[in-house]
């Protein structure tokens, strides 16, 4: 293993080149080497200044998160940065690319900071349920002030160079290469007799207790469920009221409290789960052009994602008015992103120019990738893929955006099943991060690798899953939704169910989600489900609402009413009457259902169906299931996903609850999956089961 840094000389200027791929994370071996380099150079009388530079695309992108679940090994970052700041000769940070988390804290411990135009400096620790524990909460306010420090750390979003200059964090702009620019500036500082400038020696700005009370009150409601945002404010307040070293100690204490929390463990788990595997990347085919069939909301969203990633897109729709509307939607959405500052006007114009329309499939004869986004009907999709199989060039990858249908049946119709797989986008496709990549029985390695590569290229998280009705996400959604539908018949109300699950942390309750997506969509999908449970109660309420034309927000009526001036959802007495009528027809006795039961039934149903999916090999790991549910279905990230959450509360607890519900309602839906029952019996976890499989046990 190569050394994580090198010391190079440019006359009297020593350059420490951090070279710890892929992002120069501050792992133990790098911290050890950096401490030794600092001590050596500080003692060298021929060195007049030290430049700290990151090789590759980044300065330092943060700490090594994989070490957070292990005992801390000295030197801790706090100790390293205190020693760095103590150097008797000027230390200059050559900032470029990412300077995040521990990287930003390292920059603050340097005496001077120079930056190139591509700098992204920030404190994203809050997204992992943590706080800056190596001096960020103590040093940053001394240069940037309290309000900016609160915003940067509780928000977690990085700032660019110009904002960093305005805050006083960056002292000098480099217009060329980071290392050369920093060395040249170091020479100027030496010539001017510049001394070390330590932020710890500056007084903390004045602050009133009211400032921090207001900061806590201003935290988003969701932050109340997480330990980090409030503790960030606590740490900053300690910096205002305590001497530097005491404030530093307090920051470390608060960091440790966060690190040990279940919320941070969940967020760190997702961080790694979402990174995915690099396997098979060499098998991916090149994709320069793509076709999208269908110019509706989904097709336009897919086209936006492709075009903004540099892929030329042809949208095909046989209806001229639909095609015109889809192209207009693409242009207005991309141009809107530029107006909001999410991309430059030039980049937006280039992306819009990459999209063209056509009324005939012949326009797709030479494209590298086709993504179908037409009506969710098996016969329609089969007919379309039969045409694509003959028309498209050899090795063009053909993807269906079905959310529930049999990918193998669609692939077989093409006559070239090796080139076909599913690519299930979530709506709105240009916003939602998740794509389920569905592996058909004959999908080739190159086909799947290509879809994974395209998914990464367009900035989304792709999870490869097996082929069954609903795949992973929607199959589990039916188990989750089944319980909320049964509880409606049993006496709960749509708003009570939604409120209980939103308080648990779901982004939206299931009834509100149904209204948003359109109750007619699920209704039509269930009509085509040959293995739908033979139970008259199954989705009875949703089906009746759809049959009455109550499709949700699109029709102004669904589980809720949307007829106010702001179209905000309102409870509807007509729905309660419909539910009571249906319960009476079915002989279901109604009762009051506690919030705890609502949550338990829905979440246990998810975990149990997830266990069945793992047993069948539809999902490769519990982490894949959790990534799907946290990114596609609004499961609370601070709970890690349904499988991680089940592990956290204990699988024996899940099974005990299921058996309790089975005793009350019958075993039909409450028989634990064999994997779940087995793990619970021996006090195992889904994570441990996966680790055993990976280890060959």
The catalytic residue positions are: 105, 125
What gap in Å lies between CA 696 and CA 438, rounded to an integer? 25
Hey, how many other C-beta atoms are within 10 angstroms of the C-beta on 567? 11
Whether 173 and 115 have beta carbons less than 8 Å apart is answered as yes
157 backbone dihedrals φ, ψ, rounded to 5°:
-90, 140
Whether 583 and 489 have beta carbons less than 8 Å apart is answered as yes
Encoded tokens for 520: 């007619």
What gap in Å lies between CA 468 and CA 489, rounded to an integer? 28
Question: Taking phi first (over 0 means left), then psi (-120 to 50 degrees means alpha), and beta for anything else, what does residue 56 get?
Answer: left
What gap in Å lies between CA 250 and CA 244, rounded to an integer? 10
Whether 483 and 601 have beta carbons less than 8 Å apart is answered as yes
Which helix (H) or strand (E) segment holds residue 324: the answer is: helix 320-339
In three state form, how does the secondary structure of 248-281 look?
HHHHHHHHHHHHHCHHHHHHHHHHHHCCCCCCCH
**What is the SS3 assignment for 245?**
helix
User: Burial of 515 by CB count in 10 Å (0-12 exposed, 13-18 middle, 19+ buried)?
Assistant: buried
What gap in Å lies between CA 437 and CA 454, rounded to an integer? 11
Hey, how many other C-beta atoms are within 10 angstroms of the C-beta on 523? 17
CA distances from 601 to 607, 633, 657 (A): 10, 17, 8
Q: Which residue, 14, 15, 17, 44, is CA-closest to 4?
A: 17
What gap in Å lies between CA 104 and CA 95, rounded to an integer? 9
Encoded tokens for 30: 């790098």
As beta bridge partners, residue 462 has 435
Q: Which residue, 548, 669, 692, is CA-closest to 609?
A: 669
Whether 593 and 491 have beta carbons less than 8 Å apart is answered as yes
Whether 405 and 429 have beta carbons less than 8 Å apart is answered as no
Span between the terminal Cα atoms of the chain, in Å: 29
As beta bridge partners, residue 293 has 316, 372
Whether 93 and 52 have beta carbons less than 8 Å apart is answered as yes
Reported as half-sphere exposure (CB side, CA atoms, 13 A), residue 552 has a value of 18
Whether 183 and 51 have beta carbons less than 8 Å apart is answered as yes
């Amino acid at each position: 293993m190569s050394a994580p840094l090198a010391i190079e000389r440019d006359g009297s200027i020593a350059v420490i080149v951090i070279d710890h791929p892929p992002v120069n994370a501050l792992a133990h071996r790098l911290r050890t080497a950096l401490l030794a380099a600092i001590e050596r150079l500080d003692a060298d009388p021929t060195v007049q200044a030290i430049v700290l530079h990151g090789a590759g695309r980044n300065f330092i992108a943060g700490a090594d998160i994989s070490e957070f679940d292990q005992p801390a090994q000295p030197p801790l970052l706090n100790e390293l940065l205190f020693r760095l700041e103590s150097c008797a000769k000027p230390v200059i940070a050559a900032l470029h690319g990412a300077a995040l988390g521990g990287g930003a804290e390292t920059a603050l411990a340097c005496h001077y900071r120079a930056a190139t135009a591509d700098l992204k400096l920030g404190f994203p620790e809050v997204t992992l349920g943590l706080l800056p524990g190596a001096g960020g909460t103590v040093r940053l306010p001394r240069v940037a002030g309290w309000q900016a420090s609160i915003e940067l750390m509780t928000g977690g979003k990085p700032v660019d160079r110009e904002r960093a200059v305005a805050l006083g964090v960056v002292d000098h702009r480099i217009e060329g290469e980071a290392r050369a620019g920093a060395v040249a500036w170091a020479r100027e500082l030496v010539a001017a007799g510049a001394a070390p400038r330590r932020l710890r020696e500056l007084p903390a700005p004045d602050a009133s207790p009211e400032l921090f009370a207001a900061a806590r009150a201003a935290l988003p409601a969701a932050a109340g469920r997480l330990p980090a945002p409030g503790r960030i404010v606590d740490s900053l307040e300690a910096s205002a009221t305590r001497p530097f070293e005491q404030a530093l100690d307090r920051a470390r204490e608060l960091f440790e409290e966060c690190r040990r929390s279940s919320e941070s463990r969940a967020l760190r788990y997702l961080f790694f789960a979402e990174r995915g595997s690099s396997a098979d990347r060499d098998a991916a085919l090149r994709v320069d052009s793509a076709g999208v069939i269908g110019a509706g909301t989904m097709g336009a969203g897919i086209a936006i994602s492709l075009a903004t990633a540099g892929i030329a897109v042809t949208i095909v729709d046989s209806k001229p008015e639909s095609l015109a509307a889809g192209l207009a939607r693409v242009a207005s959405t991309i141009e809107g992103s530029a107006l909001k500052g999410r991309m430059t006007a030039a980049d937006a114009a280039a992306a819009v120019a990459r999209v063209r329309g056509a009324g005939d499939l012949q326009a797709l004869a030479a494209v590298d990738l086709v993504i179908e986004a037409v009506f969710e009907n098996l016969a329609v999709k089969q007919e379309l893929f039969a045409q694509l199989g003959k028309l498209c060039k050899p090795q063009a990858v053909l993807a269906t955006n079905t959310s529930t249908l049999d990918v193998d049946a669609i692939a077989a119709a093409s006559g070239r099943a090796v080139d076909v797989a599913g690519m299930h986008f979530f709506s709105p496709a240009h916003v939602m991060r998740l794509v389920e990549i569905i592996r058909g029985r004959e999908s080739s390695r190159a086909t799947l690798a290509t879809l994974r590569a395209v998914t990464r290229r367009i900035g989304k998280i792709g999870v490869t899953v097996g082929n069954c009705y609903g795949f992973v996400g929607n199959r589990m959604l039916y188990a989750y939704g089944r319980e909320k539908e049964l509880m409606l018949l049993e006496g709960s109300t749509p708003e009570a169910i939604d409120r209980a699950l939103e308080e648990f942390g779901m982004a939206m309750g299931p009834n509100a989600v149904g209204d948003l997506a359109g109750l007619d969509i699920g209704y039509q999908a269930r009509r085509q489900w040959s293995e739908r449970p033979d139970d008259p109660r199954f989705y009875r309420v949703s089906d009746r609402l759809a049959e009455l034309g109550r499709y949700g927000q699109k029709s102004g009526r669904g589980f809720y009413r949307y007829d106010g001036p702001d179209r905000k959802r309102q409870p509807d007495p007509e729905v309660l009457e419909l539910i009571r009528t249906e319960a009476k027809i079915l002989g279901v006795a109604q009762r009051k259902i506690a919030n705890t039961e609502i949550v338990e039934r829905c979440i246990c149903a998810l975990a149990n169906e997830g266990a069945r999916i793992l047993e069948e090999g539809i999902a490769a790991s519990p982490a894949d299931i959790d990534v799907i549910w946290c990114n596609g279905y609004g499961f609370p990230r601070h709970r890690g996903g349904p499988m991680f959450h089940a592990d956290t509360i204990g699988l024996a607890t899940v099974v005990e609850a299921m058996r309790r519900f089975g005793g009350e309602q019958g075993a039909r839906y409450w028989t634990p999956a064999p994997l779940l029952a087995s793990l619970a019996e021996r006090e195992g976890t889904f994570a441990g089961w996966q680790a055993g499989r990976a280890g060959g046990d």
